[in-house]
Amino acid sequence: MNKKARQKFLLKMNSIDIQCLLELATRIENIESDKTNKAYPYLIKCAQREAEHRDLEAIIGLAHMVYGWMPTMVECDWEKYNENIWDKIIEGDITEAFLSTIKAITNNSIVGASKLLHFCNPEKYAIWDSRVYKRITNETPYDSRVNDIEKYSIYMEHLRSIQENAVELKNYLIENKGIDLSASTMRCIEMVLFYS
């Protein structure tokens, strides 16, 4: 991403604060019966069970699981897997080197990588996809715009900077929009961007 595009994206990310998210949340229909929302807690529990193994088989299985949410079959570069991946997931690593490795494991897709990371560690990672990108930028979400490690990293840095203030948002979504109590604050922020 060039400097001008980076600055433009940073400005749009910085305009998203808890008040903005609360305003967007009021526009969301009740999602209690939404199939994606209903499946979410089960996928989190499955991912947590698999993450206990912290091995290649867990990564392969989870990569295929998150692609169940996507219209594409996963093709993975398993040679990129190493034993440190799980430590970095638990730490919440968002360095370009680490994200490049996870992207290679998930069909060379930062969207797939973000879903894998989110299900492995929902407190530290949010899902990034074309709907989130469009909400933030109000631009057509071409693959070349969305499948960008630097944008995902900026997105994650910003969400982490507002995450501790998102309890009010989470409570609002639980009380008014039917989300599951177990949803992380990171998930709540991302859900508002996705559904609004």
**Residues with Cβ within 8 Å of residue 160, at least 6 apart in sequence:** 92, 124, 186
- Residue holding tokens 């994200």? 99
Tokens of 15: 């305009």
Asked if 147 contacts 141 with a C-beta cutoff of 8 angstroms, the reply is no
Q: Tens of pLDDT along the chain (196 residues)?
A: 899 999 999 999 999 999 999 999 999 988 888 777 788 888 889 899 988 888 888 888 888 887 776 666 666 677 777 889 999 999 999 999 999 999 998 889 999 999 999 999 999 999 999 999 999 999 999 999 999 999 999 999 999 999 999 999 999 999 999 888 889 999 999 999 999 9
Q: Cβ(192)–Cβ(173) under 8 Å?
A: yes
- What's the pLDDT score for residue 14? 93
